[in-house]
Amino acid sequence: MSRRSLGTAIALIGVGVVAGVILMTSFSTNAIEQLFAQDVELGAASPPAPAPPAVKLLNDQFANVAGAVTQSVVSISVKTDRKSMMRGMPQDFFRFFGPDFGAPNEEDESPQLPEGEASGSGVVITADGYVVTNNHVVESAKEGGITVTTIDQKQFKAKLVGRDPLTDLAVLKIDGRFSPAHLAQRSDIRIGEWVVAVGSPLGLKSTVTTGIVSAMGRSIGIVGTNEMNSQRNRYAAENFIQTDAAINPGNSGGGLFNLNGSLVGINTAIASQSGVNAGYGFAIPIDMVRSVVLDLIDDGKIERGYIGVEITSVDEATAKAVGLSKVAGVSVNRVVKGGAAEAAGLEVGDVILDVDGKPVKTSSDLQNEIVLRRAGDKVNLKIWRDGREIAKTVKLKAPDGVDVASRSGSDDNSRAVDESEPVTIKGLGFTAAALTSEQRSTFNVKTGVYVAKVDRMGQMARRGLRQGTVILKADGKEVFSPAQLKRVISAKEPGDGMMFVVKDSDGSKQAITVEVPEL
């Protein structure tokens, strides 16, 4: 080989080495690893448990419902005069957990919005912008302080159309064209069916949670109270849908929907010791929502009618006391003076079995039927009295229409009072004494015995008997003396039910039922 050819070969080899070094250094470590890992497969080739068609359809339906109903659910921010807690819920929201659930104390480290701000949710119910929410979300709003935000993040100043504290509902109005929710029928709601809750909990807008309807007709004693007075308004109406779909502060006023995407209720409260979801939430049923909303849109107020009674659900002791063959209906504990019930002839101790042919099993059932009606409407009641069914027609009155009038305590058939020594019924936990002339005048009665003492831990106290009242009847019999009352009670067998009719100094009457113990 000539020296020239040798030089050329060496030059070519050098060029190749340099090119190779440059090429190798241009590859990163990852590139080299990827080059040699092209045949590696990550994960299994197929899902381990493919969903059957029915499950896929259900999954698709949940997704379809969520996508559809979020278009009609809005978030609501409110400027108030009060400091908010738990990311903006009004302070009095914690009343909506009920007296046994408690509220956060001032030392809790829960996040707070600045003073004067609160938040909640709402549902658009008409195409032209009427929005339903909870009264407790907006009741403390400043003038012009309510802002509604839709799912596309558009903001609208809202006008407060009207509020109804006795059902905890309110209606707002925003200007524009919107996608309203479809309203279900209450008769279509079933315990056990799937539901979807939509709202803005804890400041998280358009949040969707799922669960089932776990109970119907719940009354938990939260509606109709206020900050200044914890005593509940006797005209407040509750008939909640209970659900285990997660509901948290901020969900108030949002929607509870079925798997058709129809609105079945307005989320209102949670049962919680911590202030956040602990398993159960409560929603106002759609029939109550529909009735209240229509009235508020019409003239901004409710022309609700009332029977004028205070009631409790019949329990086993009451059923035994009045001779019912089964536990059903609601017991009339008090009749409001001058009210519709008094005018129709209802009496303390009556049991209301149905309204316009619809059976009522609980006090919530009766409330729900009456709250759908207006002052001046007539309702037909089936009543259980003195061991038989009777019919009464009641023309409902508005509370302002009640004319208070005096009424005699009993007919003029008094007997001479004898055996007037006080008696103590230890098994029931109270002491009865003969009436003095002054007490007869105070209570406007001619017969009865005075409740001189009540054991706070006794059975009668637990059922509502208070010291300073008068027992008029026991087991359907007029009471004339302490000794006679004791004989009436002693004639009953242990385990029997017994009803007492008691009168307060203000003239109101109350029915108290107990199970007779061993005396």
From CA 10, how far away is CA 173, in angstroms rounded? 90
pLDDT exceeds cutoff 70 at 231: no
pLDDT exceeds cutoff 80 at 172: yes
| Model pLDDT, residue 224 | 63
Q: Which tens digits make up the pLDDT trace of 327-357?
A: 989 999 888 888 899 899 999 999 999 999 9
Residue 290: DSSP 8-state: H
What is the amino acid identity at position 383? I
CB neighbourhood size of 478 (10 A): 18
Q: Which tens digits make up the pLDDT trace of 58-73?
A: 889 989 998 999 999 9
From CA 97, how far away is CA 498, in angstroms rounded? 34
Q: Could you say which architecture CATH assigns to the domain 309-401?
A: Roll (2.30)
Q: Homologous superfamily of 423-515 in CATH?
A: PDZ domain (2.30.42.10)
> Does the predicted TM-score (pTM) go above 0.95?
no
Domains 309-401 and 423-515 share a fold: yes
Which residue shows structure tokens 């989320």? 267
Domain locations in the chain as residue ranges: 74-299, 309-401, 423-515
From CA 372, how far away is CA 214, in angstroms rounded? 24
The topology (CATH level 3) of 74-299 is: Thrombin, subunit H (2.40.10)
From CA 354, how far away is CA 380, in angstroms rounded? 8
List active site positions. 136, 168, 252
Of 36, 420, 371, 396, the C-alpha closest to 223 is 371
Of 438, 449, 447, the C-alpha closest to 411 is 447
Alpha helices, H only, 210-362: 286-299, 316-322, 340-344
Q: What is the mean pLDDT of residues 305-309?
A: 86
Of 385, 308, 383, the C-alpha closest to 343 is 308
CA distances to 142, 213, 288, 477 from 192, rounded to whole Å, are 41, 5, 21, 46
The per-residue b/e assignment along 406-442, b for 16 or more CB within 10 angstroms, e otherwise, is: eeebeeeeeeebeeeeebbbebbbbbbbbbeeebbee
CB distance 159 to 176 below 8 Å: no
| Model pLDDT, residue 95 | 36
CB neighbourhood size of 327 (10 A): 14
